[in-house]
Chain A
Amino acid sequence: MKYCPLCGVVLSDADTHCGLCGSAAVSGKPLAAGASGPQYPANDNTRQAGDSPDASVAKVPDDVALSSAERRRIAVELLSVTLGIALIITILVDLFANHCFTWSRYSSVGIISAWIFSAMPLILIRHPWVLFSVLAPSLLVAVFCFMIFDSPPLVFVTFGLPISLAFEASAAGTGAILAALRRKGLNALGVVLCGISAFCIGIEATVDLNIRHALSLDWSVVVAFALVPSAALLFYLHYRIVDRASLRKLFRL
């Protein structure tokens, strides 16, 4: 039988050194409990020559009853009821006060858009591209409605449509990159910042081309200079400092 003369533990026959302290293994039989060996490892106050054990000197359980799908369904129902009541009341008030649709056109489009953009993600959470195909035209329709109430259709074509498309392109690109990320941590925030930068450039490009008829990027470049280094810092933190920890961990979600 092999054992460690310092730790007093029995080692396997194949071991040449103790797996605990690295001392060379010794053949023989260590003393059992009750023998006169030391009961504690030697320290600076007690260490003496030859000290060794056989030397003679000494989930959180989710108690929530509802599943996530059930919670989502309840949220959709609450949203529908709340926004539906708001829609009816605003229309009725407008009709009683003005006997026609005036300001309630804006509130109605806003409320319906709010329902689409809040309820659809809950309904289509497992189908991101279907969700995008619903939200993208909805956004265009909402912007068109808002603009057509006060402006000629050309304004929508020159400003509303390109800016909406820039937003959708930025959101789609950001979403696609986020979906492709293996570990979503601070790097996800970095991707979002880059998406915001791209959207700002799209806004300024649209405005420049329609008003100045030439591309002259100013403020959006400043925004990009502020956000892109921040994104780089987040990427660095994610991959080098916090060991790719997920947002759930970092924010205790």
Chain B
Amino acid sequence: MGSGKRERKAYPQDRFYRLDNSAVFTAAIAGASGPFVFRLSCSLDESIHLDCLTRALASLASRFPFLFVALGHGVFWHYLNPLENPLRPVAESPYPAEPIRYRRNRPLMRVSAYGTRISCEFHHALTDGTGSLAFLRALVLEYLRLRGVADPVGMETIAGIPRPGDPYDAEEAEDAYSRYFVRSSPLPDPVPKAFLIPGKRRGKGYRECIGTTPLQGALALAKGNKVSLTELLVAVHAATLQDIYEALPPLRRKAARKRVSVQVPVDLRKRYPSRTLRNFFLFAAPSIDLRLGHWRFDEILQRVHHQLRLGLEEKELLRQLRRNVGGERNPLGRPILLPIKTVVMRLINASIGVGSYSGSLSNLGAIEVPEPWASRIERFSFLPSRAVSTGANVGVASWKNELYICIGSLVRDRSFERLFFSRLAGMGLVVRVECNEPFQGGTE
């Protein structure tokens, strides 16, 4: 919290939060082609009671004050301004993860309800997958408590899930990047441009295809290949992109970029102790070079396995921290006015960010909620942010005995989803696929 002691006493409305290092960048470069808005959903075993959801949401405002904010424009930096009005649930949009416009007192988070589902959409300037999941679990627990699912006797802290009555933990709002920044680290190597899914992008809408497969089967498959589940899915992602590349007509294939790279967010909390619920992640990016010819799946799998481990090395992560945090702390950049800084950051993103990765795969891991709440929850799903450049991205979460693989796509053609899930099915997994836009034949 950036407000001083004297001023905070007199004028609490002058409170604000600094953006964390990742948010500084995402707030500046977010736009229609990359809104940096992702969605987490939780489906229950009964229709949502709007009154209870509204009350549960209101009760969490004091526990997660850094999420109930709007983006403000300062002279040199953006800042997060606490909302003046309580956040209320909205109707679920048929077009998920729509951009969030920066307006006065407009929240950077949407909470919606549809049927049995509670959905939370977050701007990445607020938090990452871990922080958003912490909020959604707290919201669902509080909602279920209001619906009459009682707390077990003596269970004060429930599996680390924050409750409305808990005191606000200031460390949850810290910019953890700065804490682990090492100025002497070298910058990361430049990344060449990568192959992108060809085809027209949709101007409106966002297709969400969720493939559901038994978790044990997927884990057994990964274990059989001596890799982790994330590595297996990243390899499937890369192999799918290779399939798309090889299916191109010769002339287009010749013109296409020859490097497939999948961006994999890494939760830094597992490496650096931090209780922050703001952004605290970096990327590893396994890649294959298509100039070397066709890659067999086992070759891709081995490459992904080793590259991910190399990318997760602490010293490699420190290089990324040096680039990101060092850029924010650059004494030449700090006094530049925000509008100019925004243009510069967009130019940097256009030159070295957009097009450097073929897609992204984000795995939230196994979501845990204790009983008796768990039995009331049908499933969780995670829809990654829209991105015009990559076209399709993958979000993964597992709940109970099911693995939910959610592909969000702006590409008109559905080849990526079809090839991705059919490759999984070809490995022996039973995959049930559902989509927010059922295929109706013809061209879209």
Contact = CB atoms under 8 A, between A and B. Distances in A.
A183 B14 contact: yes
Given A60-B170, A60-B174, A43 B79 contact: no
A39 B79 contact: no
B74 A53 contact: no
Interface residues of A, number: 48
A113 B377 CA distance: 71
Interface in B123-178: 170-171, 173-175
A12 B253 CA distance: 58
A10 interface: yes
Nearest to A126: B6
A10 B47 contact: yes
B401 to A, nearest CB: 16
Interface string B79-122: 10100000011111111000000001000000011111100000
Given A249-B14, A250-B74, A32 B113 contact: no
Contacts of A242: 73
B76 A252 contact: yes
A18 interface: yes
Contacts of B204: 44
Max chain A C-beta neighbours (<10 A), residue from B81, B115, B437: B115
A156 interface: no
Given A60-B170, A249-B72, A251-B76, A43 B45 contact: no
B44 A20 contact: no
A41 B91 CA distance: 9
Max chain A C-beta neighbours (<10 A), residue from B16, B43, B44, B94: B94
Contacts of B3: 248
Interface stretch (B49-57, B223-231, B301-309, B421-429): B49-57
B298 interface: no
Nearest to A251: B75
Given A39-B434, A41-B114, A60-B173, A32 B47 contact: yes
Given A44-B204, A53-B114, A10 B94 contact: no
A212 interface: no
B77 interface: yes
Contacts of A10: 47-50
Nearest to A51: B94
Contact of B49 (A9, A39, A61): A9
A245 interface: yes
Contacts of B72: 245, 249
A43 B206 CA distance: 10
Given A45-B205, A248-B7, A8 B114 contact: yes
Main secondary structure of the interface of A (DSSP, over half): loop
A33 B89 CA distance: 20
B47 A30 contact: yes
> What bracket does the count of chain B residues touching chain A fall in?
35 or more
A98 interface: no
Contact of B16 (A37, A41, A248): A248
Contacts of A61: 170-171, 173-174
B343 interface: no
B436 interface: yes
B254 interface: no
A9 B119 CA distance: 13
Given A20-B89, A60-B2, A32 B438 contact: no
B433 to A, nearest CB: 12
B250 interface: no
Nearest to B113: A9
A63 B17 CA distance: 16
Contacts of A182: 11
Max chain A C-beta neighbours (<10 A), residue from B14, B81, B179: B14
A9 B14 contact: no
Given A30-B47, A59-B170, A253 B2 contact: yes
Interface of A: 3-4, 6-12, 15, 18-21, 30-34, 37, 39-47, 53, 59-63, 68, 182-183, 242-243, 245-246, 248-253
18 contacts: A3-B47, A7-B92, A7-B113, A8-B48, A9-B47, A10-B48, A10-B49, A18-B91, A41-B93, A41-B114, A43-B205, A45-B440, A53-B115, A59-B174, A61-B170, A248-B3, A249-B72, A251-B76
Given A20-B90, A20-B113, A53-B115, 19 more contacts: A7-B92, A8-B47, A8-B116, A9-B115, A15-B50, A19-B88, A30-B115, A33-B115, A44-B94, A45-B444, A47-B94, A63-B179, A183-B11, A183-B14, A248-B14, A248-B16, A250-B74, A252-B2, A252-B79
Minimum-distance CB pairs A-B, first 7: A43-B94, A8-B115, A59-B1, A59-B170, A20-B91, A40-B436, A21-B91
